[in-house]
Structure 1
Amino acid sequence: MMSQFSDKDVILSVHEYNFKSNPSEESFNIAFGIDKHFLFGCGVAISSILLNNKTINFEFHVFTDYFSEEDKARFSALAKQYHSCIKVYLINCEKLKSLPSTKNWSYATYFRFVIADYFYHKIDKLLYLDADIACKGDIQELVDYQFAEHEVAAVVSERDVEWWTNRSVTLTTPALVAGYFNAGFLLININEWHKNDISSKAIEMLRVPEWVEKITHLDQDVLNVLLAGKVRFINGKYNTRFSLNYELKDVVENPVNDETVFIHYIGPTKPWHEWASYPVSKSFLIAKDASPWHNFDLLKPTNSNQFRYSAKHKFNQKLYMQGILNYLHYYKLKIMK
């Protein structure tokens, strides 16, 4: 078995910010794979985890293709503020750019393959998280989690049996009837991942036109096919998904409750957008205020899609003048295209 991603090929540089009070203590490792658009969200996600888990010794690993001087200062300040350790890995993305991507998912979605390969022989267990999360609870259960024999990962299911059946047919993988997971949360058994050669097989599948025609959720679909029957489904509180665009519906069903540990803000509107002003964004905003990003403005719309969503949300929030202005920006950008 050959790793697709050797350290020399892929990792260009590592920036380490280690302010642990007890460096020799065993760490719980959490990793993120992001592009430049998610650095703000990732910093606040880390802050939210540290804020709600003050007794756990963490090591955070951020894999990205962009890291400015301002980013370096903030991530260093975050590690110092919480006496933690954050390592940022700059990645050479050339191998990944040829893989399928969409408007909502860039090649950064494949960083999780680089991450899982990188940690083989370094650690045994790793929590991979998407950066559009906010932690609002205790994760000690994950720190203590013991994998069963041959278990590659602990995961949280996506949607319901009807959806699993649909994916099992589309992806010609009958075992998915027993469960299909969301890949934004993966508690990975690194040794079993390597033993099953998951990263290499995933990259190979993503280069086969017949598979590319079938998949709609890129690496998530591929991972579900490769890991069918090799994962354990755990409590949904660890990946409670909610799209802020659901707020535009007449009836909003919000699954976030007191038991929720990780809120996963799926969809194009994120809690760091200034039009995402809803109670469900509160966990993100609390963590932002308790981080080096506390004085960082929430992001304004920059493209036609964002102006359109911003306008809809402003009307929903009864901020009609702002909504009208955003619609005008939207139409102006559409005409200029």
Structure 2
Amino acid sequence: MSQFSDKDVILSVMEYNFHDRTSENNFNIAFGIDKNFLFGCGVSIASILLSNKSINFDFHVFTDHFSEDDQKRFSALAEQYKTCIKVYLIDCNKLKSLPSTKNWTYATYFRFVIADYFYGKLDKLLYLDADIACKGSIQELVDYSFAEHEIAAVVAERDIEWWTDRSLTLTTPELVSGYFNAGFLLININEWQKNDISVKAIEMLRIPEWVAKITHLDQDVLNVLLVGKVNFIDGKYNTRFSINYELKDKVINPVNDETVFIHYVGPTKPWHEWANYPVSQSFIHAKEHSPWCNVALLQPANSNQYRYCAKHKFKQKKFLQGVLNYIKYYKAKAIK
């Protein structure tokens, strides 16, 4: 049973298909984003294509906003790399009543729409958050075969201490064996559907007792619903790093030569002008080899961003810029 039918949610589909040849064996990757992540999504796609020139892809972008500029750039990206990008404009009314936070909007639930949409169309799909840059081969994912009853291949979040905390908070003891980050999901579409995951997830998100427990919205819910039905794979496929960790005195950067996907978690993203650190270079390199090459990195636009920008400028020894951004931060805060 599908929670979301095509007619219900998909308003229109735009296809930019520049494949030299069509193939049913193309590897499918999907993103679910709002307008704030379109820039990141385009560059993320470019990074995957740059690092995987021998693989044929079909990319699927589910969003509720797509301007004329976005259309031109995504079309140019597909043409530049001779690939196919399909953009699905979504009606979000069904999702806006679900829980959201300052950092996670209703767009986080697009992954449920995506999994439902592809039932009967695909067997396997890679879902990625748009704040991910690729720096290695994903051939192992292309060749990956699911075990019997396996719903998804995932990457663990943090360590056993965190898993234990989640298992207690979410009253799901089995989570002590592993809790995953939902920014990377290699989905077995048929098993997902057979287990009614999207239906059950939306139901849980409407139950006040569950909403009171969850702190990571759909990620918590998915961990509860998929417990015992996922395969934990190598962390190189979802190596998480917050650029704000650079503000600490000692930074342990987990990104190395084995890393395939860098997941830039946290409020500072590599498309922010103040994220000027070596860890951002995979994103910057892909940006330079994409239709976004001449698009300026984003300046701070609200009090929170002015504050982080100021802190990073001080860390980077750009003191005058740091002071100016602190002044903008206090002014923006005073207006609130």
Q: 1:86: which partner in 2? A: 85
Q: 1:45: which partner in 2? A: 44
Q: C-alpha deviations, 1:288-308, integer Å up to 9, x for none?
A: 000000000000000000000
Q: C-alpha deviations, 1:29-51, integer Å up to 9, x for none?
A: 00000000000000000000000
Query: How many Å separate the matches in 1 of 2:97 and 2:37?
Result: 21
Q: C-alpha deviations, 1:204-239, integer Å up to 9, x for none?
A: 000000000000000000000000000000000000
Tell me by how many angstroms 1:125 deviates: 0.1
Q: 1:77: which partner in 2? A: 76
Q: 2:252: which partner in 1? A: 253
Tell me by how many angstroms 1:25 deviates: 5.0
Tell me, yes or no, if structure 1 residue 163 matches structure 2 residue 179.
Answer: no
SS at match of 2:16: strand
Q: C-alpha deviations, 1:113-133, integer Å up to 9, x for none?
A: 000000000000000000000
Structure 1 residues 198 and 25: alpha-carbon distance in aligned structure 2, compared to 1, 3 A threshold: closer
Q: 1:177: which partner in 2? A: 176
Structure 1 residues 268 and 31: alpha-carbon distance in aligned structure 2, compared to 1, 3 A threshold: same
Q: C-alpha deviations, 1:245-281, integer Å up to 9, x for none?
A: 0000010000000000000000000000000000000
Following superposition of structure 1 onto structure 2, how do residues 114-129 of structure 1 map, counting pairs within 5 Å?
Answer: 114-129=113-128
Query: How many Å separate the matches in 1 of 2:233 and 2:133?
Result: 18
SS at match of 2:317: coil
Q: 1:199: which partner in 2? A: 198
CA contact (8 A) 1:30 1:127 kept: yes
Q: C-alpha deviations, 1:141-169, integer Å up to 9, x for none?
A: 00000000000000000000011011001
Opposite residue 45 of structure 1, the aligned amino acid is S
TM superposition outliers: structure 1 runs of 4+ over 4 Å: none
CA contact (8 A) 1:43 1:75 kept: yes
Opposite residue 303 of structure 2, the aligned amino acid is S
How many pairs were matched up? 336
Opposite residue 239 of structure 2, the aligned amino acid is T
Q: 1:187: which partner in 2? A: 186
CA contact (8 A) 1:134 1:283 kept: yes
Q: C-alpha deviations, 1:32-73, integer Å up to 9, x for none?
A: 000000000000000000000000000000000000000000
Tell me by how many angstroms 1:24 deviates: 3.0
Q: 2:66: which partner in 1? A: 67
Tell me, yes or no, if structure 1 residue 17 matches structure 2 residue 16.
Answer: yes
Q: 2:208: which partner in 1? A: 209
CA contact (8 A) 1:28 1:57 kept: yes
Following superposition of structure 1 onto structure 2, how do residues 222-261 of structure 1 map, counting pairs within 5 Å?
Answer: 222-261=221-260
Q: 1:29: which partner in 2? A: 28
Q: 1:322: which partner in 2? A: 321
Query: How many Å separate the matches in 1 of 2:26 and 2:329?
Result: 47
Percent of aligned pairs with the same amino acid: 80
Q: 1:221: which partner in 2? A: 220
Q: TM-score, normalised by structure 2?
A: 1.00
Opposite residue 230 of structure 2, the aligned amino acid is V
Query: How many Å separate the matches in 2 of 1:32 and 1:265?
Result: 15
SS at match of 2:58: strand
Q: TM-score, normalised by structure 1?
A: 0.99
Query: How many Å separate the matches in 1 of 2:25 and 2:226?
Result: 28
Q: 2:279: which partner in 1? A: 280
Query: How many Å separate the matches in 2 of 1:39 and 1:297?
Result: 14
Gaps of 5+ in 1: none
Q: 1:263: which partner in 2? A: 262
CA contact (8 A) 1:25 1:57 kept: no
Opposite residue 204 of structure 1, the aligned amino acid is E
